[in-house]
Structure 1
Amino acid sequence: MNSASGTTRDDDDLPPPPERPDCCFGGCAQCVLDDYAEQMQRWQAEVDAILERRKAAGPDR
């Protein structure tokens, strides 16, 4: 495990998380942070699925 980032080498091929946008805090009906939250949920589900497949494949994947 890389102590600086908290990731392992196996994590290097995971998709990067979406970039957090800047919000104007103007009270927009559909804020960019709402979209970002949805993107983060999809990204986390994708990462979880990849990690689950790796776990199921065993240590010799």
Structure 2
Amino acid sequence: MPGEMPIAVTLQKVLCGTELEVIQQGIPAAIPTEFCYLGWQESLQMLAQLVEPEIPDGG
């Protein structure tokens, strides 16, 4: 699909971790908003798998 979809990502330190804000603009009408939410959720889950440490249970 031609065009641009600007995305702004903001990370902010909060008491219990990090707050993530994502603003995506210019989404074509052919892409349902729900699909964008699902895509971001899947991407963030995969990122978590890459960066979260595997801590052995000590057993």
TM-score when scaled to structure 1? 0.40
Q: Which structure carries more relative contact order (alpha carbon 8 Å, separation 6+)?
A: 1
TM-score when scaled to structure 2? 0.41
